[in-house]
Structures are given as structure tokens and as C-alpha cells.
Amino acid sequence: MFCGVHPPASVQLTNPSLYRVQKTPSLSPRPSSLSSLPLEGVNPSNGHLGVFSSDDGPSTSCPGAVQGKILILTICAAGIGGTFQYGYNLTIINAPTVFIQSFINETWLDRTGAALEGKMITLVWSFIVSVYPLGGLVGALIAAPMAVKMGRKKSLLLNNAFVALAALLVGFSRLAKSFEMILLSRFFAGINSGVAMSIQPMYLGESAPKELRGAVAMTSASFTALGLVLGQVAGLREILGAEESWPILLASNVVPGLIQLMLLPWAPESPRYLLIDRGDQDSCIAALQQLRGSEDLSGEMKEILAEQAALQGQAAKAPWELWRNRAVRWQFITVVVLSSAMQLCGNDSMYFYASSVFQEAGIPYDKIQYSVIGTGSCELIMSMTCVRICVGRRVLLIGGYSLMATWAILVTCGALPNLPISPHPPPFTCPTTLSAFMACIFAYILSFGIGPAGVTGIIPTEIFDQVSRPAAYTISGSLLWINLFLVGLAFPFVMESLGYYCYLPFFTVCVGTALYAWFFLPETKGKSFLEISEEFVKRNFGDRPRDNAWVCPEEIISTKL
């Protein structure tokens, strides 16, 4: 007997030997009176689910080492072709701005015999920049059906077809004398990033053990920041940022995709997807064994089976169903608030226009490219540091947005010693003032990396169940890309209208998000998906009776294998 649920008929525990509990020399020997008993299903020393055969002897295997290797492979394989692509594609477009604009004008001149006006060149360039988040929106919308029908791992592998097509288009655009190919390339690169941004954190969150789930999912932010930095480095004039090499720079996004195609096939599929969505218990156990080594899998299998039993007969939810379903009302609101704040705080839009911001601040032209690299490096350092920080998601969100609000108000309200009162000030002439301005910008980005960059991606995985999770990521991804498009489009006009006061709107967003997390977001660190669900059940229903709520682990009835 053990504490569990009645597994559905389609996933009876027919092969318990697949999740064997390995004994080590440090364990007490099994009593001789039990040595002849077929103790399938229960570990007599601790009551855990597993199998002890009578010929089991001391094991010299290293489950932790096996788990670490496979888990690291899964993280790296998913990340390099996943959120890495988002960061990389976000920054490689910055360096060749002038060269692409010249190419647009030259192409138009060859076609029509007349040069384009400056405003028309700017308009075409704006379309090239803006079509990337539009492609990302399309990718976010198709990510959920892909994740449900093909699985998390296969979806990430197939997603590389979009970036391969994007690289081919932009790589041959100058040879074909077509700036429209650059436009299409950025659109397909956006689709690739949109799919990856939705599926990668879902895949990692479902594959990681409960104790490491937050740290593993936060690596998505680390890969985003790594992509930002490497995109900025690749765009240096000494590397691929020269006029003759910009097509190679923009086509270089195919390299991470090829690396993922080589590595990801060796990683397992999400165990939760295999059991709950496909009903394939044997594949689920095999995937768990790959990810956990030879550890006792009874606790995790019990939790997954409990979730499967609670969701039995339910189909994957559509995005619009989440709002109508009272059982996930506060989860829906939380995803809307946090996903919108990710872009409305203005951090990612900074990468689109970093060169312009630093130029307006009076930084010498030959130093701007290195200042831009500094912004990405700040986010990379903090995102990697946060993987090691042993505090909860709620604390990281509140702390990150509160610090961002602090730096924004310092820039806005005259904390800088020589900041002019006019909203249209000239470039800084005082080195101290310029240094303080740069320090505030870097501190703002560092604060974003402390929590919002890493925590936001894992929240939908933790607060939604298996049938609602893909729809939640569709909503989250769609809001992320729509707001990136809107803020990216509006940022130049905000900067022109408000000057150094342009951080006032971002300050408002940061304060509002920090307050929301303080009052409405429960802590999810170290809790099972069932326990997190119970937190939101109380908020959604109060003390009233409710249907389709998960049961707590203590309430799960016992069953015999």
C-alpha cells in the first residue's frame, strides 16, 4: 500500500521494474525474512514505490552524476536554439543599421532610377525592425498547437526550419538586390523566436525536478542574455559589423539552430507530456530515469499520476477558455500582468535603440558599440547570478521591479547632478554627470536581470496545469511580442518628446508590477504543481465549493499496485 491515486486504466503501473530503487552500501541491509518476498512496488526500508529484487546488491552507480549530465545537456540543447535566438536576433540588427539603409536606397535607385527620400528609408527600416516582433507574435500563436500535437522536444527541433529559411533569405539578399528578402528573413526569425520563447521554459519546467525547477527554468533568461551579448559582439566592426559582412552577420543566427539540431535529439522528451498528454507511461518512466539517474521515482510518479487523474478526460484548453474558466481566473490575470510588464518596463526596447540613447547622452561614436555590449553584459551577469540565488520567485519579482523603479526615478527626478530641467537637454558635457547617467542605465538593466528576466518565463509553467499550460504560454508570448512591437515603435517618439524624462512611464509600470506581486502573487518556490494549484484555488473560489480543483497530496487515496 502507498499513498497515491488510482492510475487511469490506460496508464496502469504495469512495469514497476522500470523505476528501480538502487541500494547503496550506506543503506541498512534488507532483513533476511524479506529476502525471498517479491517486493514489487514497495521499498520495505522506507515505503517508497519501487522494486527490490532478491539479487539486488550494493550499487556503485552515481545517480546524481547521471542526472546532472542529462539535465545540463537538456538545458543547453534547449537554450542554444531557444531563447538564445531571441536575444541574438534582437541585437544583431543594431550594428548594420546604416549599411542596410544604404542598401535599401541603392536597391531602389537601381530599380527606379530615383533615390528614396530620407523619411521613406526610415519607414522601410522601421518595417524591417518591427516585423521581427510581428513574426514573434505568429510564433507564439502556433507554439501551443505545436507543443500539444508534436511534443515540446520535437517542436523545438522543427522550429529550426524557420531560422534556416531566415538565414537563406538574408544571406542572399544583397546578391539578389532585394531588401524585401531582409524583411521576410526578420519575419521568419521572429517566428522562430516566438515558438522558442513559449516552448523552452515549458519544456524545462516540466523536465526539471521540483527542487531545481526554478533554477533550471531561469536558465532561459541566461541564454537570452548570452544571445544579447554575443549578438552585440558579433556586430562589432572588427568582427561582422563592417559594411561588406552584414549579410553574414544577419545569417549567422542559423549556427545556434544547427547546434540545437545536433544536441537536442539526445535529450529526453518532457515526462509530464509523455504521461499526461500521450498516456505513455513507459516512455515517461524512461525519460524520468534519464533525467534523474537511478533515483527512486515514486514521489514524482505519484504527483504526475495525481495530476493526470485530476485532468482525465479534459482536452487542451484554448487561450480564450482560460478567461472564462473561474478556476484559473487569477492565474490568467497574473500572466497578463507579468508578461505585459516584461516589455512595458522598457528594458528590451533599449536594445533596439541603445546606440541612439548613448549618442544622445554624448558618448563618443567610437565608444558607443562597447557601451552597448556593456548593457547586455549586465543582464547576462545578473541572470546567471540569479540561478544561484536561493530566494523565491515572488521576492525576485518584487525586488527586481522595485530596484528598476528606483533607478528610473533617479534618472528622471534630478538625482544626476547636472541634469537640465528641460525635457530636451543637450548631450552631457560633465564627465561625472555622464558617468552617473551610464551607471543608472546599467543598474536598471542589472535590476531587470535580478528577477523579471528569469522569473517571468517560469511562472506560467508553475501556476497552470498540464492542459492549460500551452494556452497560458500562447497568451504570455502574444502579450510579450505585441508589447515589444508597440514599445519599440513608440520609444523613439517618447524619447523625442520627453528626453531624459522618458523613464517616467517605465517607472509607473515597475511600481505597479511590484505592488501586484506583493499583494496577489503567492510564492511558488519549492512547491509541487498540486500545492501551487491549491494556493490559487483558495484565491479563485474562497471558501465556496468548486469543481475540477486538484486534491492536495494528503487527500490522495491509497491504492495497491
Look at residue 3 and give its three-state secondary structure: strand
Distance CA 217, CA 204 (A): 6
Superfamily, domain 314-560: MFS general substrate transporter like domains (1.20.1250.20)
Q: Residue 466: enclosing H or E segment and its boundaries?
A: none
Show pLDDT as tens, one digit a residue, over the chain (561 residues): 334 333 343 344 444 444 443 433 333 333 333 233 333 333 333 333 333 333 333 333 444 454 578 888 999 999 999 889 998 998 888 888 888 988 988 988 888 888 888 778 878 888 888 889 899 999 999 998 898 889 999 999 999 999 999 999 999 999 998 999 999 999 999 999 999 988 998 898 888 887 787 778 778 888 988 998 899 889 888 888 888 889 999 999 999 999 999 999 999 998 888 888 888 888 888 888 888 876 677 777 888 887 777 777 677 777 888 888 888 888 899 999 999 998 888 777 666 556 666 666 666 767 777 777 777 777 777 777 665 555 678 888 898 899 989 888 887 765 444 444 444 444 455 556 666 777 777 788 888 877 787 788 778 878 887 778 888 888 988 898 888 888 877 776 776 677 667 778 888 999 999 999 999 888 877 777 777 777 787 777 766 655 544 444 443 333 333
The x, y and z cell numbers of residue 512, run together, are 505597479
Could you tell me the pTM of the whole model?
0.73
Do residues 379 and 225 make contact, with C-beta atoms less than 8 angstroms apart? yes
Nearest Cα to 193, choosing from 469, 485, 396? 485
Place of cell 536575444: 87
Domain ranges of the chain: 314-560
What φ, ψ does residue 559 adopt, rounded to 5°?
Answer: -145, 155
Alpha-carbon 99 to chain mean position: 32
Sorted by sequence, the CB contacts under 8 Å of residue 284 that are 6+ apart come out as: 271, 272, 274, 275, 301, 304
